[in-house]
Amino acid sequence: MDVSELRELLSTDGLRLLDSLEPYESAADVVRTVAELRKAGHSPTLVAAVLTQSKLRAKAVGKFGPFAERMLFTEAGLEQATRLRVAAMHAGRFRAAGLTRIADLGSGIGADALALAGIDLEVTAVERDEVTAAIAVYNLAPWPNATVINDDATSVDLSGFDGVYLDPARRSNDRRLSNPADWSPSLDFAFGLDLPTGVKLGPGIDRDLIPAGWEAQWVSVDHEVVELGVWSGPLARPGIGRAALVLGAHGTAELTAGSDSADEPAGELGQFVYEPDGAVIRARLIGDLARQLDARMLHHQIAYLTAEKAVQSPFATCFRIVETFSLDERTLKRELKARGIGTLEIKKRGVDIDPASFRKRLSPSGPNSATLILTRLGERRVALLAERVVF
């Protein structure tokens, strides 16, 4: 979105028109709506702006729920925005630490600032991009304790604050920036602040970049690892260096430790295989999970666990092993056909196979469903025919 589109969108007529649109559903609706709006005399710029926002609002429901209906977005801002459920937990850290005046540096469209303001903390959102800052102003307008500044995060005087939150921009002109020195603000700046600090990072960041003494918490939502949060000072919980926070239909669960946990030894294949949640794997707490489940590693280099009993856990998905085969395509194709398996989920670790193309070559057909786990037992490549355990 450019400045001219934003001006039209933020006009009284623009916002009224946006709110009058039916919820976005498909590209076919867009074609019809464009024709209707243009026929009604609305400018091409305004039509483009409101339809883009309608589409983004529909997309944002997964992150913001009903709040999305009254918010504005940019494509990049929505992509990087923290899910409101997670942002609320971030905000809770500041309140629990007794911090009340927070600077949100690199605030984007204001998702984290919204959560901070929502629990009555004073928050100043700082955003360098003019259009994004204006959208943050709109999104934060209902909260008098929230202020937005259009400025570079590294230029702000932090003397009036007692806590800082940063979500460094990791893209430039739709290009992902791999060097943390190129982020805005840079990682060195974020980690060099004297105030209690929280930094949102991508979950796959080089772990060697995490400063000693900071808490590192990997967060997954509905089995997708969405971020790594690192926390300093009173924002870091005593004795916790590594954490895996798992949010899903079960609610909220967390596995914590002072540091990376030691793995359990690998052993024989049991009746059940567990796939740890990605946050547990990223946090390197697989060993602690294995001990909780009375399980062992399936292979010393592969993040699958195995056991004789099925135990329900928010930190892992459990599969019952039906049969074990060598990883041979012809054998598997024959066995799937014999069992009438047409719906086939394929999981793999430790083998160089593309699941989508492998599934296509197996040509599954029939009324039944199963999971195929492609992995290694010792030096042997195997295919574990399995079914999900429903507790």
CA atoms of 41 and 10, how far apart (whole Å): 18
Specify the range with the lowest mean pLDDT, choosing from 42-51, 95-104, 118-127, 283-292. Answer: 42-51
Q: Is the pLDDT of residue 115 over 90?
A: yes
CA atoms of 362 and 336, how far apart (whole Å): 8
Residue of higher predicted confidence among 9 and 24? 9
Phi, psi angle pair for 144, to nearest 5°: -65, -15
Name which of 276, 294, 293 is nearest 285 in CA terms. Answer: 276
Sorted by where each begins, the domain ranges of the chain are 3-56, 78-257, 272-388
Specify the range with the lowest mean pLDDT, choosing from 24-38, 146-160, 263-277. Answer: 24-38
| pLDDT attached to residue 63 | 94
Q: Which pLDDT band holds residue 38 (cuts at 50, 70, 90)? A: confident
Q: Which pLDDT band holds residue 4 (cuts at 50, 70, 90)? A: confident
pLDDT per residue as tens digits for the range 203-256: 999 999 999 999 999 999 999 999 999 999 999 999 999 999 999 988 999 999
Specify the range with the lowest mean pLDDT, choosing from 9-23, 57-71, 132-146, 347-361. Answer: 9-23
CA atoms of 149 and 131, how far apart (whole Å): 12
In degrees, rounded to 5, the angle at the alpha carbon of residue 123 between the alpha carbons of residues 108 and 168 is 30
| pLDDT attached to residue 26 | 66
Name which of 279, 59, 76 is nearest 177 in CA terms. Answer: 76
Q: Which pLDDT band holds residue 261 (cuts at 50, 70, 90)? A: very high
pLDDT per residue as tens digits for the range 11-33: 988 999 998 888 776 666 777 78
Q: Is the pLDDT of residue 135 over 70?
A: yes
Give the pLDDT mean for 344-362: 96
Phi, psi angle pair for 355, to nearest 5°: -60, -40
Alpha carbon distances (Å) from 302 to 27, 78, 171, 276, 296: 42, 34, 32, 11, 11
CA atoms of 243 and 246, how far apart (whole Å): 10
Q: Between β-strands 224-231 and 215-221, what pairing exists: parallel, antiparallel or unpaired?
A: antiparallel
Taking a C-beta distance cutoff of 8 angstroms, is the pair 72, 53 a contact? yes
Q: CATH classification of 78-257 is 3.40.980.10, yes or no?
A: no
Q: Which pLDDT band holds residue 72 (cuts at 50, 70, 90)? A: very high
Give the pLDDT mean for 149-169: 94
